[in-house]
Amino acid sequence: MKGIILAGGNGTRLRPVTFVTNKHLLPVYNKPMIFYPLETMRECGFEDVLIVSGREHAGDFSNLLGSGKEFGVRLSYEIQEEAGGIAQALALAEDFADGGSMAVHLGDNIFEQREQLVAGVKKFAEREDGAMIFIKQVADPERFGVAEIAGDKVVKIVEKPKAPKSNLIVTGFYVYDKNVFEIIRSQKPSARGEMEITDVNNVYIEQGKMAYNMVEGEWTDAGTFDTLLRASNLVAGKKAVK
Enclosing domain of residue 43: 2-241
- What percentage of residues in the chain have a pLDDT greater than 70? 97
CATH of the domain at 187: 3.90.550.10
Residue 106, pLDDT above cutoff 80? yes
pLDDT of 239? 58
- 190: number of Cβ within 10 Å: 14
- 82: number of Cβ within 10 Å: 9
Supply the pTM of this predicted model.
0.94
- 27-28 vs 74-80, strand pairing mode: unpaired
- CA separation for the pair 54, 15 (Å, rounded): 16
- CA separation for the pair 104, 97 (Å, rounded): 11
Pair 50, 78: CB distance under 8 Å: yes
Q: What is the largest CA-CA distance in the chain?
A: 48
pLDDT of 242? 42
Residue 17, pLDDT above cutoff 60? yes
Residue 46, pLDDT above cutoff 60? yes
Amino acid letter for position 114: R
Residues 9-17: what's their mean pLDDT?
A: 79
**pLDDT digits 0-9 by tens, 125-136:** 998 899 999 999
CB crowding 171-186: b at 16 or more within 10 Å, else e: bbbbbbbebbbebbee
Tell me how many domains the chain contains. Answer: 1
Show the beta-strand stretches assigned E in 29-138: 31-32, 48-54, 74-80, 102-106, 109-111, 131-137
